[in-house]
A = this chain, B = another copy of it.
Amino acid sequence: MQQEHIQKEFIWHFGEMGSRWGINRTVGQIYALLFLSHKPLCADDMCDALGFSRSNVSMGLKELQSWNLVRRREIERDRREHFEAPEDLWKIVRTLIAERKKREIDPTLSKLRELSLEADGNDTHANRRISELRDLIESLTQFYDKMERIETERLVELIKAGSKFSKLISATDKIIPLSRTRRNRKEN
């Protein structure tokens, strides 16, 4: 059936992409399944739907919880733990960004701070590169912290009204907006 096929494809795709997103196939598929589901699922449901072992699902859920991507949800008259993916997609995006920053940026920033300290005084090319990189990441991090404080609705507004925004940036200075470049037709 068509409908089933769509779900299968979606789940399969999340599995495939999982590795590029820094999680693994199993975790990707579990998340996809929860994401599409209209009701919370328990681990057994997921085993059935995906054909993984019980323990694999258990590990996957643990991982997803550590990313704050799924929530426990009590179901009455059922002792088993159930899980669901949050409704609000923009919230999910924020969570993802926060978690990736935590895993991919923060450890490097600490390391760079540490090395900058050690390098104290010694003005070599490598040390300059390192502190340049530290500065950059500090700036990005500070910027992120500011954005983090803004309510989701407002950020969404901003993103959706992108044109307004980029015009605004151009307006910061007297630069002439890029003209649409003529495209060269390329017959290959």
- The interface of chain A, by Cβ under 8 A from chain B, is 2-3, 5-7, 9-10, 13, 17, 20-22, 35-38, 89-90, 93, 103-104, 107-108, 111, 115, 118-119, 122, 124-127, 129-130, 132-133, 136, 139-140, 142-143, 146-147, 149-151, 154-170, 172-173, 175, 177-178, 181
Contact = CB atoms under 8 A, between A and B. Distances in A.
A142 to B, nearest CB: 6
A139 B160 contact: yes
Contacts of A103: 20
Copies of this subunit: 2
Q: Chain A contact residues: over half helix, strand or loop, or mixed?
A: helix
A9 B166 contact: no
Contact of A172 (B3, B10, B157): B157
